[in-house]
Chain A
Amino acid sequence: MRAIIGYGSSIRGEDAFGLDVIKELQKLPLKETKLISVHQLTPEMVLELQDADEILFIDSCHDEKNPYALACSLREQSTLNLSHHISPKTIIYMLRSLYAKNPHFYIYSMMSGSFDGITDNVRYKDRVSMTADYIVSFGGE
């Protein structure tokens, strides 16, 4: 099973990028795929991800220098943290250490210069579509 998690704030402009990609993906007939929209990653999410062979995290990333740049990374670059919200790396760490699961994971990010709104609606929508298409092209449909 493949899990795709879009996370961010629905009322903070481009921070909703992950949520909007999930909305795009919901229109498509993806097989054996669990789509999850959340405000933030939380510890108990690991219970939903135990059966996932592959996990895709979709987020927006604050970067004023490269707005609307897309990145697919990164495996181990996010920070290990645990509070009421956690990082992708922490999710993977928890799956490995507590549930003996070792899924592949990727993080798809769109750089954003501001979360105060959507600065360029055309480019934003284009990046949402591009990311959804890219994910679909790598299996699951």
Chain B
Amino acid sequence: MENRKIIIDPVTRIEGHAKITIDLDENGKVEDAKIHVTQYRGFEKFCEGRIYTEMPAITARTCGICPVSHVIASTKAIDKILCITPPQAGINIRKIINLAQIVQSHALNFFHLSSPDFIYGFDAPKEDRNIFKMMQTHPQMARDGINLRAFGQKIIEELAGKRIHPTGIVAGGVEHKIEQSQKEAILSQIPDMMKIAQGALEFFKTNLHKFQKEIDSFASFPSLFMALTNENRTLEHYDGALCFMDSEGNILKDKINPQDYREFIGEAVEEDSYLKSPYYKPLGYENGMYRVGALARLNIAKTCGTPLADEELKKFKALGGGKPVLNSFYYHYARLIEIIYAIEKIEELLNADETMNENVKVTSKISNLRGVGCSEAPRGTLFHDYQVTKDGIITAVNLIIATGNNNLAMNAGVKQTALAFVDSKNITDGALNRVEAVIRCFDPCLSCSTHALGIVSSKIEVRDHNKKVIQVIDRN
């Protein structure tokens, strides 16, 4: 048999544009599989020469779903350049906005992108395995997803000015204090949102037994984990220090100041993808593969610090038997726990006296010529690293996007899943859906901040070793 290549292009139900190739050997067995990120954005280059004050607005355009993360990392980098610390009210409001984004982003992934697989199964006909079928058969679940997203988006709009590309988070803090009426409006929704979040988690746990094969083969392997965490290793999304944990649960390095990330994170570039491949430097490229995001955060955190999430965290950690949970399928589980945590934490922060303080911003002049901003985005740890002249002109930018941190693990996961499910003699839609689904576990945000210039059909091409298409599967 000739060598063949299976291409899944575009990958569906993810944020952004990517394709998957599966290489078969001469015997028709899976030899390799990769995810290729096909978008080139160029932010690191075209930001050079801009004035530093523009960076939050520019970098927010990296993405239409997690612009808040970019604005927060960007303003934190500028805080460092200005050598300022926002007032506690400003920090708390930033945290609330960041948590609101965690809620809306995680809700989108679970309710609208991934739940069709959980409801109908990975082998269901593709006509049935989508959100539109779900709206027919499980309308309340679809409405729950909309309500949870609306909750997060409304908080972002109220406190940061706009739902997408908000302008209210600025260097030194935030533009506006929280009004009492805003606080009350958000708090009034907390019980309903918590009920939705807990219901979703219960649904997921109840159905987990149906997916043991996927749990075992969806990027289920040893790797390192990285996340921000507090001194006592409570869950943290805004501040703290970086921590690397190995697959046995040993702390390789913690208390890393994010300003020093370059000492510990290397950035490799592969020829076939525009996405960077970061790795833990002390272990070298590929051996230093690590995962970030909800799974990593819950593996590293000893506690969430909020009661309902901590109850769920205990059950989650039991899956690992005292060691980190290595199955990427459980990213879904971890995200649902994080929604519960975020709702609790938003309530806690809103009820803190200092949050309502009118002093929400400080200003200063350039004191440092370099600043690194780091925060936990929904998909993992995000770095913005800027260098400026004394006049504030940007001379260098380095961005490590949350999804990029997972690049090596996503590729390893695609290969593992292809090996487990793809049979070249009978390439089923269910098998190819699983190869896509392993990527959805990571909920990658490959970025989409503008309109697409057309609709690309979902197509799989099977090619021989000469790149000749020998089979086309139209997945529309």
Contact = CB atoms under 8 A, between A and B. Distances in A.
Contacts of B449: 9
B112 A40 contact: no
Contacts of A135: none
A79 B453 contact: no
A110 B309 CA distance: 49
B1 to A, nearest CB: 37
Given A62-B451, A80-B132, A85-B64, A42 B163 contact: yes
Q: Give the interface residue-count category, chain A.
A: 20 to 34
Interface of A: 8-9, 11-12, 15, 38-40, 42-44, 46-47, 59, 62, 79-80, 82-85, 93-94, 97-99, 115
Given A44-B146, A98-B146, A39 B139 contact: no
A84 B451 contact: no
Nearest to B145: A43
Nearest to B112: A82
Contact of A8 (B15, B104, B135, B451): B451
Contacts of B164: 38-40, 42
A46 B112 CA distance: 14
A83 B135 CA distance: 14
Interface string B162-181: 11110000000000000000
B281 to A, nearest CB: 33
Given A15-B451, A40-B164, A98-B146, A93 B135 contact: yes
A84 B146 contact: no
Contacts of A42: 149, 153, 163-164
Contacts of A8: 451
18 contacts: A9-B450, A9-B451, A39-B64, A39-B162, A42-B163, A43-B149, A44-B153, A47-B150, A80-B132, A82-B112, A83-B13, A83-B113, A84-B64, A84-B65, A84-B448, A93-B132, A94-B142, A97-B135
A22 to B, nearest CB: 14
A44 B145 CA distance: 9
B450 A115 contact: yes
A94 B134 CA distance: 11
Given A9-B451, A84-B448, A85-B448, A40 B146 contact: no
A62 B146 CA distance: 29
Contacts of A47: 146-147, 150
Interface in B235-259: none
Interface in B109-124: 112-113
Nearest to B66: A84
B431 interface: no
Given A85-B448, A115-B450, A44 B150 contact: yes
Nearest to B455: A79
Contacts of A85: 64, 448
B367 to A, nearest CB: 30
A98 to B, nearest CB: 5
